[in-house]
Structure 1
């Protein structure tokens, strides 16, 4: 199938899943609480399996090492930078947590960033592989850093528990499965373990992508509100500034420092890093809010309007630069 057609079908399916969840809530056909177990099993089983098989088939190179370092620094730095700024502007506890999560994780997988890289950057296959690896590293760092942060700020957990203890506890949580899946996939790729033929023969990855899209988008739709609340404006503004200004600037700085150190990225890796740096917040933002007891309504709102801003402003700039 033509890659563009495949992507369009995936986007249509995702949009229908989101709309389906939204309509089920509006017509009171389903309790929005259904989204929590739906998101839980999507993250633990579906996304973990997709991460394992995606990373396993990637031939690793030096570029992957540097991109992994970039993504690790971006996730960690943005989370704590966002918290510091939010505290300075006297955000509420809920607002601080959401802006930290939204700023630090990004829609850089097959659902957006990696596919944009695939369509714009040459060679396309290398760009897609680098993009998928980038999101896999983000998942690993998110489990290590963002999960404990979400636990600490969530309404279901004792805020007095030290962050270090939450980080240790995190490794025993089934929700950490994407971390172990990505590590396993990396090891299998590193040691050249043959990729399972049945995954190719039966389009297992495509099935997992669609299952993951349904679980994520339908669950988000169950909490989606299309109204814009004025008290949320500062949260939207800070999330957008961090996503679309600070992260690209930080990425350029890291590329420059790498060059000063006598190292360099290949042209595809350089372009992937820059394109991915301008992506909106990830599906994980509302999903983690749901799983860890953060303000789910606000998380869904930030996710939705962050993507609207990306579509109206950032994406046209990217397409113009690659015209």
Structure 2
């Protein structure tokens, strides 16, 4: 029996007339996602912290049926998130929460949040809720298999910013990725409760060679990652396939997509499982409420907000 051909970016349906926002789109998985959607006909907004680098990345998208533009967004600064959302007009078919930082030395966002939790989760939490009245199809958030690491078998609700000596780069990263999945779970629950036809999904790239690994706080991990990126990892185009699959295929809300190969490290996109901690609706609600308190952003009254646009 012939092996079924792996789904790839050329299988994306025509995206002409659709608009997407991709955060962290100036390199790696982000620009690979932008390129594939633009080639399929979408208008794609690169939401990036460094506009100059964003423009350079946009210039690499060649021979696309669609179009690209660059707008500034710093997820580590809630004022920037609010400014980006306030400037938005018109329908937004796809919001792809792709940006992230990984395993960095301890740092704080402009608002005083632990940098990985603040950027990877809280910035996207605020952005999504502020843009949600404009979203017509789905929100895709990029998580990671790192959410299964033992240090993240629960959210550290008593110390979300890992202060007082509790910080370690991997604990902070894995907690932020667990938060991405709990966010997706509760967002889908709220959308369904409202009867709103927008879906929340998540994806992870497996082991993809990107520039994230080069910022690891550990010299040893950086060296190991460099070897792994060279000999074992997928390239960014392959790593972006789960995100693109989640963004364009007819999947149920709260679906989680990753590679179908060994340990979900590489391969074609398929539905994959979460850890028990990432499937806990009680934790999802608790995280949502904590995120609202920290950011000052709440789930919108969608019918009223849509009517006001």
TM-score range, shorter chain: under 0.3
Higher helix share: 1
TM-score, normalization: structure 2? 0.27
Higher strand share: 2
